Amino acid sequence: MARIVFDLDGTLIDSAPDIHAGANALLKAEGAEPITLAEARGFVGQGAAAFIEKVRHARGIAESEQARLLAAFVQSYATLITRTRVYPGVLEALERLRDDGHRLGICTNKPLVPCNAVLAHLGLERLFEVVLAGDSLPTHKPDPAPLHAAFAALGEGPQIFVGDGEVDAETARRAKVPFLLYTEGYRKAEVASLPHAAAFSDYGALVGLVEKFGVETAG
């Protein structure tokens, strides 16, 4: 059976509405104009610090405010769960993969506390044996170390990484593992420009892809 590690935001869940609301609460307190939901989606993927940095730049807030705004955002991050939704077909696919004997994990740049909070809120935490977050190790994606650590915690077997965008594709490339690209997340680049073993837009296709690439990797 395969070891399958998933990204979280933009791959399993659409959390951008909550992150958008959290960012705009900060901006309102600063007397700055809000960002759009599209901007929030575009800023997600490289962790909370990078997100706040992009928000600041978009609204002309000084770099000297980075640490203060990041601390305020992280403090509220675990409460930003009420607008987040699981993508269609995710739960069914994860349950099928687990029931088939595959071992599942998460490797995300989201900090661990809000990551665990949203997984619990959505009832997904029971499906994963390991969660590696953006602050679990000294480095985060696209450094391959967290992905390697997640696979190591899942034991033996073929490795597959599932993600939605540029950071995930680069992480998989550096880790030298097959990458399955979910095309309906927060990707900004064209699908063809991202290195991937296969792309899918419907989670109904994931089980078949795992069977294909799990066998190929094992061979």
Q: Say if CB 7 and CB 108 are below 8 A apart.
A: yes
Helix axes 90-99, 206-218, angle to 10 degrees: 40
Cite the active site residues: 7
Read off φ and ψ for residue 131, nearest 5 degrees. -130, 115
Nearest-angstrom CA–CA distance, 141 and 25: 27
Closest to 51 measured CA to CA, from 70, 78, 75: 70
Q: DSSP characters for 109-174?
A: SS-HHHHHHHHHHHT-GGG-SEEE-TTTSS--TTSSHHHHHHHHHT-SS-EEEEE-SHHHHHHHHH
Helix (H) / strand (E) containing 181: strand 179-182
Please, which residues have CB within 8 angstroms of residue 34's CB and are 6 or more apart in sequence? 23, 24, 27, 28
Calculated CA dihedral for residues 23, 170, 8, 143, nearest 10 degrees: -80
